[in-house]
Structures are given as C-alpha cells and as structure tokens.
Amino acid sequence: MPTDLDGSGVTERETTVRLLLKRAAARVRPSQRPAPEVPFGRENDANLEFDERGTGSGVGWLLVALAVFILVHTVWAGLGAS
C-alpha cells in the first residue's frame, strides 16, 4: 500500500493523474490528415471503364491474332499430313 507523504488521499492523486493524462493525450493527438488524392477521382463519368470507344482496338488485335493462329495451324497440319 502506498504511503501518504503529504496528507492527500490516494483517490485525489489518482484523479489528478487521470486529469493530467487526459490533457497530455489531447495535446499529443495528431490532427487528422486529409484523404490521399486519387488520380481517377476527378473523372465525371462513373461508367468510364465501360466506354465503347476503347474497345475497337481490342477487336482488331483479336482478328489479327486469329488470322496468325489459323495460318500457323494450317502450316503445321500440312507438315504433319505429308
């Protein structure tokens, strides 16, 4: 049990310590930082990823790749048949 040196009660000391800790915690808390800026956060259109204008090049790549695949398959099958 702690000894009472200056005549004040333990509960008064605990109250004082709690008050000082609350004040110190209020001073030390950092201010809230704003949310980081997202590069695509300034876009107006929510459905920009489903835009029809960007899909034309994908279809072109598909047709070129399909033609190359058919050509390679034909050559390979012709070599295997002979």
The predicted-structure confidence for 23-34, as pLDDT tens digits, reads as follows: 887 776 666 777
- Give me the pLDDT at residue 61, please: 87
- Residue-wise burial string across 6-44, b where 16 or more C-beta atoms lie within 10 A, e elsewhere: eeeeeeeeeeeeeeeeeeeeeeeeeeeeeeeeeeeeeee
Which residue is listed with tokens 């920009």?
48
Is the pLDDT reported for residue 21 higher than 60? yes
pTM here is 0.34
